[in-house]
Amino acid sequence: MIRACTRCGSRNRVPAARLADEGRCGACKEPLPAPAEPLDVDAASFTEIVSGARVPVLVDFWADWCGPCKAAAPAVARTAAEMRGRALVLKVDTERQAELAQRYNIRSIPNFVVFKDGAPIAQHAGLVDHRRMETWLEDAAKS
């Protein structure tokens, strides 16, 4: 995964296993914090992150035309910020990444899937608040 340094703008390659860790920019040596926002991913980055992450991963399957998906977006963003360093939050646009939606049997959106050690361990279709999402991730971390 490529992360840009907020200080110097340099692009840093961060392995999926280290994405939830704080690192340092290779150019300016400033801290490169774990993401505090949902990461919009394609099929390749999805596979790399889900299979390599050492922390639980919450995936929000959504589409731009979906009103409930837009309503869920603030809770998804808050979850990413509050779980920074302890979990990762990904967004998968089901229109652009239809093969991923099919692979995980996504029939309605928003649809949330929690992954641990590369495997799905929980799935929920429909709106939920950020506390519920955080509980899923905390429970996944304990198991």
Tell me the domain boundaries of the chain. Answer: 35-142
Report residue 1's pLDDT band, with 50, 70 and 90 as the boundaries.
confident
User: Helices (DSSP H) in the chain: which residue ranges?
Assistant: 43-52, 67-82, 98-103, 130-142
The reply to whether 25 belongs to the active site is no
On the question of pLDDT at 143 being above 90, the answer is no
User: What is each CA distance from 135 to 39, 58, 64, 84, 113, in whole angstroms?
Assistant: 20, 11, 26, 14, 13
The reply to whether 66 belongs to the active site is yes
* Phi, psi for residue 2 in degrees, rounded to 5: -100, 125
Candidate list 8, 25, 28, 66, residue with the active-site label: 66
35-142 folds as: Glutaredoxin (3.40.30)
Give tens-digit pLDDT for 44-76: 999 999 999 999 999 999 999 999 999 999 999
Structure confidence at residue 38 (pLDDT)? 98
Candidate list 5, 25, 28, 69, residue with the active-site label: 69
